[in-house]
Amino acid sequence: MSDVSKYIIFQINHERFAINIQQVRSIEKLPELTTIPQMPEAMKGIFELRGAITPVIDLKEKLEMGQAEQTEETRLLVLTIDEKQLGVIVDKATEVVDLNSESIEAPPEMVAGVEREYITGVANQEGQLIVILDLDRVLNYEEFNVKS
């Protein structure tokens, strides 16, 4: 018997990505951000959410897929990485799905646009491919650590 896990599906440049729902605290509309001097390039600022100063990263920029453009569909995924709160900007958060571990294949040897080490697998859902990201590797919290 295979394991089933819940994943949040989101889009960047019309491509579908997923992360395990256990890492996601909430999905928010993009708040007004405060910039701080000498921020890492992909970091867009900080904001306060439920009493915690939360760094915000442009996931599109971090993955070298361009820069986020704020639209009505732009969302902020508030995540827990290394037991710290961090926000990532995505073009659109679309749905929560159950993925069977048997439906997730190892990432291909060559994946254009995204470093292979950032990918845990690829799932085929109703004829559409979903790239499953390892956000612990993509988002090294220390790189974006904000002292509060």
Partners of 87 in the β-ladder: 56, 78
Q: Cα separation of 135 and 140, whole Å?
A: 8
| More reliable by pLDDT, 106 or 19 | 19
| Most distant CA atoms of the chain, gap in Å | 51
Tell me what pLDDT residue 131 has: 92
State the CB neighbour count (10 A cutoff) for residue 129. Answer: 11
Q: What is the pLDDT of residues 64-115, one digit of tens each?
A: 888 888 999 999 999 988 788 999 999 999 999 999 888 888 887 765 555 6
